[in-house]
Structure 1
Amino acid sequence: MRIGELAAQTGVSPKTIRYYEDIGLLPAPPRTPSGYREYGGDAPARLGFVRTAQAVGLTLGEIREVLAFRDCGEAPCPHVRQLIEQHAAELTERIAALTAVRAELELLAQRARTTSATAATNAVFCHIIEG
């Protein structure tokens, strides 16, 4: 299957397919005598895996590692489990930090509603933030 067909079947642009090939996520396919890439039957599934793994937060480098396990005949699932646990822990930390920022913003919004926008204060920049 040529790159246009693969793109149409997977919803991944030809440019992105070529990029994935360049960075090792998709093996370089053989070429026809006229130079067209001729992708094998597993290319759509591989692209689907890449897109799904990206959607859950894996980086392209991490996805390349997972695919390398599979390409060497090893089970990638233990490595994937580790990556997922790591990403989940990082996400929990980010959510906690964002929750703290949101609470601070809500306090500032309350202050903004209860003070005059032109109130004379000793604030250097803005009394809403500086208190």
Structure 2
Amino acid sequence: MTNSVDTSHVPERNIGIGELARRAGCKPETVRYYESIGLVSDATRTEGGQRRYGEEAVRRLTFIRHARDFGFSVEAVRELLAMSDQPDMPCQEVDAIAKHHLEEVESRLQRLSALRDELKRMVSQCAGGKVESCRIIEVLSDHQLCISDQAHGGAHDLG
């Protein structure tokens, strides 16, 4: 009779950081960053100190990357991950986070639209002469010449 240990309940962790990053569509530095802020669980280490991950890390990192691609903040992703770890809970909180994010996106789109319209107007009014009579320089120097306050209010926060 052989003496064996049942490891069927232990998830296999044989994916290196490079492979994890490749499968999730990011760089190893991104994996390390998400690990450092607690979004991805610390990897197990080989005797040589190499990180090893399992399939759950691939799923989790893919979720994080996709949520970030949608523009969710790191804190919102943290909340969504916590909720996804509780599959039996109602999804009202998830819905609330997504609705709040949608409102932020809609607001940003309105500001970007006003910014685009103001830039088009400035460019169309430029006669192409000398800088001293340039309409673009004139408008940039005086906010009162803008059609919309949204055109310059918070535009730097759109990124």
Do the two structures share a fold, i.e. TM-score over 0.5?
yes
Q: Is the 8 A contact 2:44 2:51 kept in 1?
A: yes
- Aligned partner (choices 57, 72, 93) of residue 79 of structure 1: 93
Partner of 1:108: 122
Quick one: distance in 2 between partners of 1:106 and 1:8? 41
- Aligned partner (choices 62, 65, 76) of residue 62 of structure 1: 76
Q: Is the 8 A contact 2:17 2:52 kept in 1?
A: yes
SS in 1 for 2:47: coil
Change in CA separation of 1:118 and 1:46 when aligned onto 2, cut-off 3 Å? closer
String of CA shifts for 1:13-66, please: whole Å, max 9, x gaps.
211111111111101122222222221221111111011101111012211121
Change in CA separation of 1:89 and 1:36 when aligned onto 2, cut-off 3 Å? same
Quick one: distance in 2 between partners of 1:24 and 1:43? 12
Q: Is the 8 A contact 1:29 1:37 kept in 2?
A: yes
- Write the letter of the residue equivalent to 1:117: G
Quick one: distance in 1 between partners of 2:80 and 2:90? 6
Quick one: distance in 2 between partners of 1:18 and 1:111? 50
The offset of 1:71, in angstroms, is 3.5
Unpaired runs of 5+ residues, structure 1, are 120-124
Q: Is the 8 A contact 2:83 2:94 kept in 1?
A: no
Change in CA separation of 1:76 and 1:15 when aligned onto 2, cut-off 3 Å? farther
- Write the letter of the residue equivalent to 2:113: T
Quick one: distance in 1 between partners of 2:124 and 2:30? 46
TM-score normalised by structure 2 residue count: 0.65
- Write the letter of the residue equivalent to 1:6: L
Q: Is structure 2 residue 138 aligned with structure 1 residue 117? A: no
Partner of 2:30: 16
- Write the letter of the residue equivalent to 1:67: L
> Identity over aligned residues, as a percent?
35
Q: How many residues align?
A: 124
Q: In angstroms, what is the RMSD of aligned CA positions?
A: 2.6
